[in-house]
Amino acid sequence: MIVGISTDKMPAQEQFVTKNNLPFALLSDEKGEVAKAYGALGKGSFAARYTFVIDKSGVLRKAYTKVAPANHPKEVLELIKTFK
Rounded to whole angstroms, the Cα distance separating 35 from 20 reads: 22
Q: What is the pLDDT of residue 42?
A: 82
**Spans of all domains in the chain:** 1-48, 49-84
Rounded to whole angstroms, the Cα distance separating 37 from 1 reads: 20
Rg (Cα) of the chain, in Å, rounded? 13
Is the distance from CB of 36 to CB of 42 less than 8 angstroms? no
pLDDT under 50: residue ranges of the chain: none
Query: How many CB atoms lie under 10 A from the CB of residue 12?
Result: 13
Q: What is the pTM of this model?
A: 0.81
Rounded to whole angstroms, the Cα distance separating 41 from 43 reads: 7
